[in-house]
Amino acid sequence: MNDFYLNKTFSDLSSDLLVNKVRANMDEARFRHCQGVSITARKLAKLNNYDEDKAALAGFIHDYAKQVANDEFIRVIKDPKNNFNQDLLNWNRAIWHGIVGTYFIKRDLSITDSEILTAIKRHTTGDVEMTTLDKIVFVADYIEPGRSFSGVDEAREVTFSNLDAGVGYELAHTLQFLANNRQKIYPKTLAAYNVWGIKKEK
Ligand code: GDP
Ligand code: FE
Ligand code: FE
């Protein structure tokens, strides 16, 4: 990925060290996805007058914990020192890797910026309230160049013309996908859909 670069790490780590730590925590396909999300987040930040370097960093690390083992997630959720809601134990790694991923990002990458950590936390489910950075990471994850599901071109068009519309498109389609596969809907996904996914009154 030639156009992937970080100007800032929002951490004491150098850019090279941070990139190598991320690479070491996942397989090659997931690493390329993280670079793709970073590139897309940078473009969306420019388009929406947001800090491009912060969006590029948040996009790059959003799936840092994607390949952490289940028993490791469970150990971190159960440790009272970490203050995680114990209801998380009723969910699975699809839901854990963002929310609980913030623990590993703080521990391994020394990133403490609350805007970045919140965007990581919300990147899978969205939320009722979403900052510009939350929205950028959420949709960049969905439309990065490596994604190829049916409808992705329409998702790209919608998102590059209007960020909020992109969030709505993704939530509506994710909800549809989950229901079609008879999967359990995380309450935040549904609450986010009710805010961002519905047609606005004219
Ligand atoms: P990825 O980490 O780049 O693969 O993308 P995401 O973090 O957006 O999504 C991870 C997985 O979580 C996807 O397979 C989604 O379909 C799934 N997911 C998102 N919302 C929900 C939900 O409410 N319930 C369940 N069961 N899965 C969800
Ligand atoms: Fe993810
Ligand atoms: Fe992702």
Q: Which ligand is nearest to the CA of 34?
A: 3
Q: Which atom of ligand 1 is nearest to the CA of 174?
A: 16
Q: Does the Cβ of 124 fall within 6 Å of ligand 1?
A: yes
Cβ neighbors of 26 (< 8 A, separation 6 or more) are 34, 63, 64, 66, 67
Give 94 Cα–ligand 1 centroid separation in angstroms. 5
C-beta separation of 25 from 33 below 8 A: no
Domain residue spans in the chain?
Answer: 15-197
CATH of 15-197, one of 1.10.260.40, 3.90.550.10, 1.10.3210.10, 1.10.3720.10: 1.10.3210.10
pLDDT digits (tens, 9 = 90+) for 83-125: 999 999 999 999 999 999 999 999 999 999 999 999 999 999 9
Q: Which ligand is nearest to the CA of 171?
A: 1
CB burial readout 162-196, b (16+ within 10 A) else e:
ebbbbbbbbbebbbeebeeeeeeebebbeebbeeb
Give this prediction's pTM.
Answer: 0.97
